Amino acid sequence: MTRGQAILLGLAVTLLGAAGYWAFQTSGLDSFSSGIAASGLLMLLVLGWTSSYLFRVVTGRMTYMQQRKRYRQRYDAETNEELEARFAALSPQEQQRLLEEIGQVEIGQAEPEGSTP
């Protein structure tokens, strides 16, 4: 949220409070009771909004977290494709040596699929 958006949000809440005060006063409440009712209504709205935000934080459904998960999935997929392409470009002997180095196959085991001895 930008600074300008935060100022606009604060202004909107203030105007909502003023509108609530006016609405309660026109419904027949005196000035003091209208102020308390409008403040209570605003407090309930702010608490509801805050609790929904906290719920999204706890459940991990925040926009940032969702964007980060999507980015990570795309990054992993592209990285895997690139690594597979680079591995396929290696000679069968290089593939075998690499697989032995990382412990995927034991030394002396059969050649990787698609390779020729």
- How far is it, in rounded angstroms, from Cα 58 to Cα 72? 20
Cα separation values, 13 from 1, 7, 26, 57, Å: 16, 10, 20, 23
pTM: 0.51
pLDDT tens digits along 72-109: 999 999 999 999 999 999 999 998 898 888 887 776 66
Contact 57, 63 (CB under 8 A): no
The yes-or-no verdict on residue 112 having pLDDT over 60 is no
